[in-house]
Amino acid sequence: MPMPLPDTIAIDGPAASGKTTVGLLLARRLGYLCLDTGSMYRALTLAAIRRHVRPDDEAGIVRLAHECDLDVMPLAGETDGRLYTVLLDGEDVTWELRLPVVDAYVSQVSTYPEVRAEMVRRQRAFGRRGGVVMIGRDIGTVVLPEAALKLYVTASAEERAQRRLVDRRRQGHYDDDYETILADVVRRDHHDSSRQHSPMRPAADALQIDTTGRTVEEVMDQIMALFNGIPSQERA
């Protein structure tokens, strides 16, 4: 049964599942705002690395979570392949968020309940604007449980690692290898889904979409077919 266009769309899923690609395309197609919440946890992790706060220093990380100024902004004509721009205390850190050292620590930094409470507070404030697509691990379960549409985007770990490898090569990182990326994806999935506080999992009412072996266009067609008043062209 097609549904009216939902005002708020929650998209969750494991590392490199394609949820960000799908979320950004969906937001563009609907003329909605989009927030990739992973970028907030990544920016906080980068802030900790820069200020020499160790990832196991919970009190230090919590303090930083309250102090740091984070902004995720839509593209404004940049042509360097970024999907959005992230500002940390006013500085553009978009590319640094993808450093392997950030991948290594972000799951631990994201475990602390007080860190999550502060990030969720900021994410809900964004969600209140309406016309929003929000992407993460706990959006449908914790951040926006009232979202009218919840998607849980998955793919096999092998395919996700392969996609991330292609992304990295496209960004000029030729020294990454498939086995290392696969190990990081599997390690983060395990950490994110087994943590005590808001673990990664599909909401009971989420539509699960397995993107293994499917193109972005096929996945987008499946999602757009859910709606009955589909905009004929992109609004933004």
Among 30, 65, 137, 144, binds ligand CDP (CB under 6 A): 137
Alpha-carbon gap, residue 127 to 23, rounded angstroms: 14
Sheet holding 70-73, edge to edge: 70-73, 85-88, 91-92
b/e per residue, 56-74, with b = 16+ CB within 10 A? eebeebbebbeebebebee
- Closest contact distance (angstroms) between CB of 223 and ligand CDP is 18
172 is in an annotated binding site: no
Q: Quick one: which of 42, 44, 133, 209 contacts ligand CDP (CB under 6 A)? A: 42
Cα separation, 192 vs 194, whole angstroms: 6
Q: Does 188 bind ligand CDP (CB under 6 A)?
A: yes
16 is in an annotated binding site: yes
Pairing state between β 149-154 and 132-136: unpaired
Q: What is the rounded CA–CA span in Å between residue 67 and residue 7?
A: 31
Provide the minimum distance between the beta carbon of 1 and ligand CDP in the complex, in angstroms, as a whole number. 29
107-136 residues in contact with ligand CDP (CB under 6 A) are 107, 110, 136
Size of the site for ligand CDP (CB under 6 A): 15
Q: Does 105 bind ligand CDP (CB under 6 A)?
A: no
Give the nearer residue to ligand CDP in terms of CB position, either 32 or 37.
37
Residue 144 CB-half CA count within 13 A: 32
Residues binding ligand CDP (CB under 6 A): 15-16, 20, 37-38, 41-42, 106-107, 110, 136-138, 188, 192
